[in-house]
C-alpha cells in the first residue's frame, strides 16, 4: 500500500498531497463535526507556508475514545494517526491544511482570536452543538447526583457574542439559556426548564464514552 507522506514541512509537501487536497470536500456531517470542534476545544492553525489552515484537536488521554471517534469521522482529512503525549497525558489529531478550513478560519477568527460569527445560525446544527457540548460542556448536578442543568463553557467569548448565541439557540432550537458568571468570565447556562429539550436535541450524537455528560 502506498503511504501518503505527512504534511510536516517543505520536504514532504508532494504531488500526492496536492492531489489529495483537490479531491477533498467536507461532507455535511464532517463539516458539522468540524464546526462543533472549532466552537469547542479545536484550533485552526496555519500551515508552514501560511497559505491554508488545518484543524488541531487535543484532549485528555482519558477522552481517547472520543478523539478516536473524531479521527474515524475525519480520517480522509488526516494523514497521521492520533498522537499520544505522555508528558501532558493528552492525545492530538491534526487534519491536512485546506482551503475549506481556511474559509472557516475567516469566519471564526478575527485578529487571531476565536469569535462567534454573525452567521452562526446558518452553521450551528444539533450535531455541531453536540460536539461543542462534548468538548466544552458539563452537567450541573444536585448533591444526590441528579442533573438539573447544563453549562456550555463559553468563557472565551464576550457578552455581545453570548447574546448572539442566546438568540440563535432560542430561534433555532427553542432553548432559552442564561448567561452566568464563572470566575469573572461568562458562560451559557441551560436551566431546569430546558434541560430535557437540550438533552433530547443532542443525545443521538453523543458518543458512548461521553454519555456521562448528559446523564
Domain assignment present for 154: yes
Domain assignment present for 69: yes
What is the domain range of residue 153?
120-213
pLDDT in tens, 99-138: 999 999 999 999 999 999 999 999 999 999 999 999 999 9
Give yes or no: residues 106 and 14 share one domain: yes
Domain assignment present for 68: yes
Give yes or no: residues 141 and 98 share one domain: no
Set of cell numbers at residue 127: 450535531
Helix and strand counts by DSSP (H, E) for the chain: 8, 10
Sequence-distant contacts of 99-102: CB under 8 A, at least 24 apart:
99/21, 99/52, 100/24, 100/25, 100/26, 101/34, 101/44, 101/52, 101/53, 101/54, 101/55, 102/51, 102/52, 102/53
pLDDT in tens, 15-61: 767 777 778 999 999 999 999 999 999 999 998 888 899 999 999 99
Q: Domain of 83: which CATH number?
A: 3.10.28.10
Give yes or no: residues 35 and 67 share one domain: yes
Domain assignment present for 57: yes
Number of domains in the chain: 2
Give yes or no: residues 83 and 136 share one domain: no
Give yes or no: residues 25 and 84 share one domain: yes
d(CA 137, CA 40): 9
Per-residue pLDDT at 29: 98
Give yes or no: residues 207 and 129 share one domain: yes
Give yes or no: residues 124 and 107 share one domain: no
Domain assignment present for 3: no
d(CA 138, CA 64): 18
Give yes or no: residues 172 and 105 share one domain: no
Q: Name beta bridge partners: 182.
A: 185
| Helix boundaries (H) for 40-143 | 64-73, 99-108, 120-123, 126-136
Average pLDDT over residues 179-186: 93
Average per-residue pLDDT for the chain: 91
Q: How many CB atoms lie within 10 A of CB 42?
A: 25
Cα-trace Rg, the chain: 18
Domain assignment present for 206: yes
Give yes or no: residues 83 and 50 share one domain: yes
Give the residue among 126, 140, 106 at the shortest CA–CA distance from 213. Answer: 140
Give yes or no: residues 15 and 80 share one domain: yes
11 pLDDT more than 50: no
Give yes or no: residues 95 and 55 share one domain: yes
DSSP 69: H
pTM, to two decimals: 0.90
Amino acid at each position: 500500500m502506498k503511504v501518503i507522506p505527512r504534511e510536516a514541512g517543505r520536504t514532504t509537501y508532494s504531488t500526492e498531497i496536492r492531489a489529495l487536497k483537490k479531491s477533498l470536500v467536507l461532507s455535511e456531517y464532517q463539516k458539522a463535526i468540524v464546526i462543533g470542534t472549532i466552537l469547542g476545544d479545536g484550533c485552526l492553525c496555519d500551515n508552514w507556508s501560511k497559505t491554508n489552515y488545518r484543524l488541531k484537536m487535543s484532549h485528555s488521554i482519558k477522552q481517547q475514545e472520543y478523539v478516536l471517534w473524531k479521527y474515524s469521522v475525519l480520517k480522509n482529512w488526516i494523514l497521521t494517526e492520533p498522537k499520544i503525549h505522555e508528558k501532558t497525558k493528552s492525545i492530538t489529531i491534526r487534519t491536512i491544511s485546506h482551503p475549506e478550513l481556511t474559509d472557516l478560519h475567516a469566519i471564526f477568527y478575527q485578529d487571531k482570536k476565536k469569535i462567534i460569527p454573525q452567521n452562526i445560525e446558518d452553521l450551528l446544527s444539533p450535531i455541531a452543538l453536540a460536539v461543542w457540548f462534548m468538548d466544552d460542556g458539563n452537567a450541573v448536578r444536585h448533591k444526590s447526583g441528579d442533573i438539573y442543568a447544563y453549562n456550555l463553557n463559553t468563557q472565551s467569548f464576550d457578552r455581545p457574542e453570548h447574546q448572539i448565541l442566546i438568540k440563535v439557540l432560542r430561534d433555532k432550537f427553542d432553548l432559552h439559556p442564561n448567561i452566568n458568571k464563572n470566575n469573572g468570565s461568562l458562560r451559557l447556562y441551560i436551566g431546569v426548564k430546558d434541560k430535557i429539550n437540550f438533552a433530547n436535541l443532542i443525545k443521538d450524537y453523543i458518543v458512548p464514552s461521553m454519555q456521562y455528560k448528559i446523564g
